[in-house]
Amino acid sequence: MKPYLTGHYTPHVDEVTAHDLLVEGHLPPELSGRLIRNGHNPKPGVTPTHWFKGSGMVHGIRLREGRAEWYRNRWVRTPALEGAPYMTEKGPDLTASTAGTHVIEHAGRLLALCESNLPFELTPELETVGAYDFDGKLTTVMTAHPKQDPVHGELHFFSSSPFPPYLTYHVSSDKGELIHSEEVPGASASLKHDFAITERYVVFVEGTVTFDHTETSGIPYAWKDEQPARIGVMPRGKGGAAAVRWFAIEPGSMLHAANAYEDDRGRIVLEGPTVDRDGFRTSWNWWVGSPERGAVPNSRSFNQQWVIDLASGTVHERIVDDLVVEFPTINDDMIGREHRYQYAISFPDDRGVGNFGVVKYDRSTGTRQIRHVGDGQLPSEAVFVPAGGSDGEDEGYLLTVLSDLRADASQLLVLDATDLRADPVATVHLPRRVVAGIHGSWVADEPVSTA
């Protein structure tokens, strides 16, 4: 049996809706909105050749006025869900998407994302509206990891392709209008899953994983020692791509960026979990279900930091911590700005030794807190929601869905982000075990006031 069809990853065979969920503790009034998560959940009888090839299913939890009003799960109904091929006689079908990597809200639209296709719009109740192409202006695929500027509200994203043009940069206004697209010169076929923005720059990462037409899993990428690892830095705004600069870095593969910012010396600081050759191959073997896989889907993934000095043209890089982590998150108000606090999910090692946990890093003191979970339990990516009336960066809540194999159940934990050692602020009991997914978002009814 493929590992991504067993245990925490065992797919659901149906869609359900449950109302008036049991709440322990007290749900803060500012938690008025929906936590929506996305992940791969192939239909019954379907065994995808790679974890990432499974059809997308979104899970939503509606909170309002101290109540948990509903939970529901829905497949994202794309042509791929019904078996439509990505490649057709006319070329790639950008609507034949799994739509199973991430889900975001932008300009009033809820979008399910997969980096090799167009986004899919959903209703607030998670029903599928259809493929969304920004009124015909988006003619490329869209990354699953766009970045919304916290000051101006525009959405920055990119398209990465194994064929020219390898990299295209896009900007959507805060009203949802695609206002800028341009190809980025000098890019390669290297896998670019995530990126970062600062106040003045866009930061791309090309790792040592690149296009490989011989890969048979349906995800045509592999580690190639001959692929140079690089960071690309380009000014934000129209025409910025012409000024992109590429900086060589050590071999590795970064799937997810925690954040990037410009320090007081004008250098760009970028952080994100990164794997070496052995870590990538062990993880890849899990993703494709190889007998040579590790016990967990991520191994040897350590938080890495790069400091790019634009004046000298040099990059200093280091491993920040020896803890195996993935799914980094921050307070989104700090996107592109220097942040103090950073969150992640910790993993057992590649032998399966150790428990999962939720991690908080204090980058000012260099310390960390870990909230370990029990045997057979798995937390989801921790999503930060600011507290009402707060002005501190970590004053708020971390929302994580804790799945428990032994109880065959899941709970939404509302954790105090200032102290992970404290008891949960609230626990919402969900009607079923939620399948281990990938990414998600908090979609607030109204922005939380920090006044």
Residue 450 lies in a domain: no
Residue 248 lies in a domain: yes
Residue 153 lies in a domain: yes
Number of domains into which the chain is organized: 1
Residue 449 lies in a domain: no
316 is in an annotated binding site: no
Residue 151 lies in a domain: yes
Residue 299 lies in a domain: yes
170 is in an annotated binding site: no
Q: What is the DSSP string of 211-246?
A: E-TT--SSS-EEE-TTSPPEEEEEESSTTGGGG-EE
* CATH number of the domain to which 390 belongs: 2.130.10.10
Convert the pLDDT of each residue in 118-168 to its tens digit.
999 999 999 999 999 999 999 999 999 999 999 999 999 999 999 999 999
DSSP H helices in 201-359: 277-288
**Burial letters for 101-139: b for 16+ Cβ neighbours within 10 Å, e otherwise?**
bbbbbbbeebbbbbbbbbbbebeeebebeebbbbeeebe
> What are the tokens at 56?
């997308």
Cα 205 from Cα 200, distance rounded (Å): 17
Average pLDDT value for the chain: 95
Long-range contacts, 150-155 (Cβ 8 Å, 24+): 150/332, 150/333, 150/334, 150/335, 150/336, 150/337, 154/179, 155/106, 155/107
> Which residues of the chain are under the pLDDT cut of 70?
350, 352, 447-451
Q: Which of 417, 418, 415, 410 is nearest to 426 (CA)?
A: 415
Residue 190 lies in a domain: yes
Residue 218 lies in a domain: yes
Q: What is residue 296's predicted lDDT score, i.e. its pLDDT?
A: 82
Task: Label residue 407 exposed, middle or buried (CB < 10 Å: 0-12, 13-18, 19+).
Answer: exposed
Q: Which of 405, 399, 406, 397 is nearest to 436 (CA)?
A: 405
Task: Label residue 434 exposed, middle or buried (CB < 10 Å: 0-12, 13-18, 19+).
Answer: buried
Residues in the chain: 451
Domain that holds residue 184: 3-444
Q: What is residue 449's predicted lDDT score, i.e. its pLDDT?
A: 45
Q: What is residue 450's predicted lDDT score, i.e. its pLDDT?
A: 41
193 is in an annotated binding site: yes
